[in-house]
Amino acid sequence: MAPAGPPIEKKQSVRRVTVDAHYAGQRIDNFLLRELGATHGEVPRSLIYRILRTGEVRVNSQRAKPTTRLATGDEVRIPPLKLQSAAPESAGVISPNWLARAADMIVYEDEALLAVNKPAGLAVHGGSNIPFGLIELMRQHTGLGEKLELAHRIDRDTSGLLILAKTRAALHSLQTQFRPEGHAEKQYLAIVHGHWPDKLKRVDAPLEKWQGEGESHRVQVNPRGKEAVTHFAVLAANKNATLLRAQLETGRTHQIRVHTAHENHPIIGDEKYGQREWDKRLFPSTGASARRRPPLLLHAYRLMLTHPQTEQPLQLTAPIPNKWRSLAQQLNLTLPEHDPT
């Protein structure tokens, strides 16, 4: 077989796109994925972030962040791109095992939205070194393709509820509800180190993002940061660990993880903000196949929002992950058998 030739580059001139009302409220990164996908085929999300970071994308002649939301009439400058059309055939391929699990992840579905109980370890979308995520999996499973879009996000290592919108109108409504000033309520379950004080029911600690040279981004408590408030309730506890219900008043990146660590009760299994040695003491390794560290014990448990079509209250829950129960036994921590309130 003859060796493959050099990758073919596709190039496009600068485009200026005016945002119509249909896409008002959409994040610029998702807008670019759709716009560039229509002309170039599948575009890596990492490339989207790069052209945003370097300022090549402009909204009304101003630089934009990935989280910038568009308004009707905004002018978006889209730079020329050089894309390699030849990509590994395995990129983006979803394994049969994941496709077989997709149906069991769905906890609610109607013509406007899809609610999914995401397993820990599955990213919400593909990217650098991540061939696919939950959105790609569900697009293939449902057959809806690009019509299905994420209404919000949770961390890759966090399990639990994610809402996907089936229509542009539903997406706009849900994204509005999930904004910091929106009225959607998010409740999480977390198992943290030690006995969380019963009287500690509210953590108000401003958060800011930072990134050291050669490091991934982190979040830290800083008086100059953005307001961040989390409400906590103890559901079960002993000297080793505490099962907490955490309700977000604000929705900052890694908020629950940083707030619990700030109070010296980090979430068990948190590789970024936790205590590796504490994890090892609770779950000592025994044997060559032993888990080096427990998974992140953070679960997006309950969502309360307004249905985007009926405008009726909608409450969704995702049960405690089964693997938590075996870990809780090792901690002598009794988890609720049914819906924790």
Catalytic center residues? 155
**Measuring CA to CA, which residue among 294, 286, 290, 247 is closest to residue 266?**
294
What is the rounded radius of gyration, in angstroms, for the C-alpha atoms of the chain? Answer: 22
3-class secondary-structure state, position 214: coil
Dihedral class, residue 89 (left if φ above 0, else alpha if ψ from -120 to 50, else beta): alpha
Sequence-distant (6+) residues with CB within 8 A of 266 are 192, 193, 257, 260, 273, 274, 275, 278
Q: How far is CA 6 from the centre of its chain?
A: 36
User: With the CA atoms of 36, 37, 40 and 46 taken in that order, what torsion angle do they form, in degrees rounded to the nearest 10?
Assistant: 70
Q: Would you call 35 exposed, middle or buried from its count of C-beta atoms within 10 A (0-12, 13-18, 19+)?
A: middle
Contact 112, 163 (CB under 8 A): no
